[in-house]
Every structure is written in structure tokens, then in C-alpha cells.
């Protein structure tokens, strides 16, 4: 069977099974925005003594994730770091150190690679990340930018995908469908804009789960449901659809880098208000977590279930 026939998400499941269960020191293993391991920082950015080391990696490949005609090297560098920052933020943590790997054709100009690193440096300064290493390799054709980001999070602030409870409310920041509605332009993307909101959500200790919506709204809810072994009802009239976008794009578009998170029914209004007051970012109540056997459903204004497309943005397909 070809990769295109199984898709990225099933492939990851297959590979994770092959690799076996995580050991005791691994707090969060394969299948979340970042892995979390038990390591204590000596010179910590976070306040408490008990913290976890977060580690995540994201790779951008030319002609798959970006086209050089449309993105400057500077913007590409900025984005490559920012998508990783978004993953660390979605765990409730703060980023610390990065490793940068660039694969480039030998005929590429040094100036362009330096532009790429200027973009990475700019993002690094903004998010207080330090680049401490990496690798530069030759690539026959496509440009590859792969970044591994370390971060840390206090034990009590760690947020995963796996703790959503039946009866919880699903909330989302911002709007969806924007990137799908406009032609791809990395300059207009703000993949990092929810780091502050993520930290507020983590510190509130009210949320039960969180994910960043890089792969689309429905896919994000699916991932929370899969990890938490629950079902969900998404109310279509509650989906915050971006200007110029249609509902379909908001549900399946991806690349928004908004936050999708859950909290108990009794705390939802308080958490929503706290975020909106501190950041002026709109928070919408999207739906509810239900029992696993009820599945994941889209519910229209009349309360009728409607069909769910299986995938959001998926690689290999």
C-alpha cells in the first residue's frame, strides 16, 4: 500500500504502534503537539520547580508546504520557527531553544540562506528562543527547513489533547477558514498570534485539553476526541467563519493556528471572558464533548446531525 492510500494520520498511528508504549519518564509521547519529558530546568523561565521539557519538530518542504515564488526566504524562516512555537504554546508552555536544519541546493545563493536565517532570528528574538545548533545539508532540488524546538511547562500548566471529559465545552479562539479562502501568502499569516492566549489558558488551570488548529478545525476536534476517547458535537451556527471564507473552508481549511480547547461547562463563560478581556481575542463556544459512542457530529441550527468529512488538511493525500 502507498503512503497516499493510508494518509499521514493513519501512518503516524501505525508507526507509533510499531515504536511501542512510552516509558515512565515520558509524560506525553507521540501524537500531541509536542512531546513532554520529565526534566527539570536549572535556569528556568517558568516559576515553579516541577516542570517538563517540551520538544517538537516541524519540517517545511518546498513545493509541498511553500512555493518560493510566493514566499520570501525571510518570511519562510520566520514561519518555520513560528509553527513550532505554536506547538509548544498549545501544550501550555514557553519555548526555549531551537535547532535549525536547512537542506538546500548547492547553487542557492548564500544571501538567500542568510535571509532565511534573518527570518528565523527575528522570530527567535520575538519569542525569546535561542538557536543553539542544527545541520546544513545539501538537497538535490527542493529547499527543506526543519526546526526542532525545546520548551518548558510547569507540571500544573501542561495541557494535552487527551483530558477532555464528557460534558465539557469546546472553545476556539479567533476565526477559521481565512487561509483557505485567500491565496497562500506567508506574509499575511500570523502563526504565532495565539501564544499569549495559550499561556493564559494554561495558567488559568480551567482547560482540560488544548490543540493548535494547524490541520483544520474539524481535524483538531477529531484529534482531541481520539486522544481523549470521547465524541463531540460541533454546532455549525457557532463556527466563527473568517471574512471572505465559507463554512466549508472554516471546517476543513487548516493553517489558521488558532487554539481549540475544552473546559467544564461551569467554567466556560469565565475562561472565555478572561481570555477576551486580557487579549481582545474573540473566543467562541463551538460545541460539547459527548460520549465516544455518540461519535463526532456536525449539528445544524435545527439540531439535525450532518455528515462529517473524514479529514482536515492531510499530508500524503
Q: Of 46 and 275, which has the nearer Cβ to its own copies?
A: 46
Question: Under 8 Å CB-to-CB from 265, ≥6 apart: which residues?
Answer: 167, 168, 169, 288
Q: Which is nearer to its own copies, 5 or 302 (CB)?
A: 5
238 is a contact residue toward its own copies (CB under 8 A): no
Between residues 55 and 271, which has the closer beta carbon with respect to its own copies? 55
Q: Residue 55 interacts with its own copies (CB under 8 A)? A: yes
Nearest in space to 36 (alpha carbons), one of 17, 56, 21: 56
SS3 state at 165: coil
Q: How far is CA 79 from the centre of its chain?
A: 13
Binding-site size for its own copies (CB under 8 A) equals 81
Of 25, 237, 280, 301, which lies in the binding site for its own copies, with binding defined by CB under 8 A?
A: 25
Q: C-alpha angle with apex 11: 8 to 12, nearest 5 degrees?
A: 85
d(CA 38, CA 129): 20
Residue 132 or 291 having the CB closest to its own copies: 132
Residue from 30, 265, 273, 291 binding its own copies (CB under 8 A): 30
Residue 69 sits in the site that holds its own copies (CB under 8 A): no
Stretch 171-210 residues interacting with its own copies (CB under 8 A): none
Residue 62 CA to residue 144 CA, distance in Å, equals 6
Closest approach of Cβ 61 to its own copies, in Å? 5
CB of 113 to its own copies, least distance (A): 7
Q: Are 68 and 108 in contact (CB under 8 A)?
A: no
Of 126, 163, 203, 315, the one binding its own copies by CB under 8 A: 315
- Radius of gyration of the CA atoms of the chain, in A: 19
Rule CB under 8 A: choose which of 61, 68, 206, 236 binds its own copies: 61
Our finding on whether 37 is near its own copies (CB under 8 A) is yes
Nearer to its own copies, 241 or 257 (CB): 257
Which phi and psi (to 5°) does residue 196 adopt?
Answer: -65, -45
In the complex, minimum distance from the CB of residue 316 to its own copies, in angstroms, rounded to a whole number = 5
Residue choice 144, 207, 217, 224 for contact with its own copies (CB under 8 A): 144
Pairing mode, strands 207-212 and 259-263: antiparallel
Measure the CA–CA gap between 314 and 317, rounded to whole angstroms: 6
Restricted to residues 98-137, the positions that interact with its own copies (CB under 8 A) are 99, 101, 103-111, 113-114, 117-118, 121, 124, 130-137
CB closer to its own copies out of 184 and 204? 184
**What gap in Å lies between CA 201 and CA 203, rounded to an integer?**
6
Which residue, 77 or 253, is less far from its own copies as judged by CB? 77
Distance (Å, rounded) from C-alpha 247 to C-alpha 255? Answer: 15
Stretch that binds its own copies, among 146-154, 177-185, 233-241, 242-250 (CB under 8 A): 146-154
Binding range to its own copies, per CB under 8 A, among 33-41, 71-79, 161-169, 209-217: 33-41
CB burial readout 106-120, b (16+ within 10 A) else e: eebeeebbebbbebb
77 and 68 Cβ atoms separated by less than 8 Å? no
- If binding is defined by CB under 8 A, does position 38 make contact with its own copies? yes
Identity of the residue, 142 or 175, whose beta carbon is nearer to its own copies in the bound complex: 142
Contact residue for its own copies among 64, 246, 265, 269 (CB under 8 A): 64
Q: Which of 57, 264, 279, 281 contacts its own copies by CB under 8 A?
A: 57
Q: Count the alpha carbons within 13 Å of 112 in the hemisphere toward its beta carbon.
A: 15
Cβ 112 vs Cβ 73: under 8 Å: yes
Amino acid at each position: 500500500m502507498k503512503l497516499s492510500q493510508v494518509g499521514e494520520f493513519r501512518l503516524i498511528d501505525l508507526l507509533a504502534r510499531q515504536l511501542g508504549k512510552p516509558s515512565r519518564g515520558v509524560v506525553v509521547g507521540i501524537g500531541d503537539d509536542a512531546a513532554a519529558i520529565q526534566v527539570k530546568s536549572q535556569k528556568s523561565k517558568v516559576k515553579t520547580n516541577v516542570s517538563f521539557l517540551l520538544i517538537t519538530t516541524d519540517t517545511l518542504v518546498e513545493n509541498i508546504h511553500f512555493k518560493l515564488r510566493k514566499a520570501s526566504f525571510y518570511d519562510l524562516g520566520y514561519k518555520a520557527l513560528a509553527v513550532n512555537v505554536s506547538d509548544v504554546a498549545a501544550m501550555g508552555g514557553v519555548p526555549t531553544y531551537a535547532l535549525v536544519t536547512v537542506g538546500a541546493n548547492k547553487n542557492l545563493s548564500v544571501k538567500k540562506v542568510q535571509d532565511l536565517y534573518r527570518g528565523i532570528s527575528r522570530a527567535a528574538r520575538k519569542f525569546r528562543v535561542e538557536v543553539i545548533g542544527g545541520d546544513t545539508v545539501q538537497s538535490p532540488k527542493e529547499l527543506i527547513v526543519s526546526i526542532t524546538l525545546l520548551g518548558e511547562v510547569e507540571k500544573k500548566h501542561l495541557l494535552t489533547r487527551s483530558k477532555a471529559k464528557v460534558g465539557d465545552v469546546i472553545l476556539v479562539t479567533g476565526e477559521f477558514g481565512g487561509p483557505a479562502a485567500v491565496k497562500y501568502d506567508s506574509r499575511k499569516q500570523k502563526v504565532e498570534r495565539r501564544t499569549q492566549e495559550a499561556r493564559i489558558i494554561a495558567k488559568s488551570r480551567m482547560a482540560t485539553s488544548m490543540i493548535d488548529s494547524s490541520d483544520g478545525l474539524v481535524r483538531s476536534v477529531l484529534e482531541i476526541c481520539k486522544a481523549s476517547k470521547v465524541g463531540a458535537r460541533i454546532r455549525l451556527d457557532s463556527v466563527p467563519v473568517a471574512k471572505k471564507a465559507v463554512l466549508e473552508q472554516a471546517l476543513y481549511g487548516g493553517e489558521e493556528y488558532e487554539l481549540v480547547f475544552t473546559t467544564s461547562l461551569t467554567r466556560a463563560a469565565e475562561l472565555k471572558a478572561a481570555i477576551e478581556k486580557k487579549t481582545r481575542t474573540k473566543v467562541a463556544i463551538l460545541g460539547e464533548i459527548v460520549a465516544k459512542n455518540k461519535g463526532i457530529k456536525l449539528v445544524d441550527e435545527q439540531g439535525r446531525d450532518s455528515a462529517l468529512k473524514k479529514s482536515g488538511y492531510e499530508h500524503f493525500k
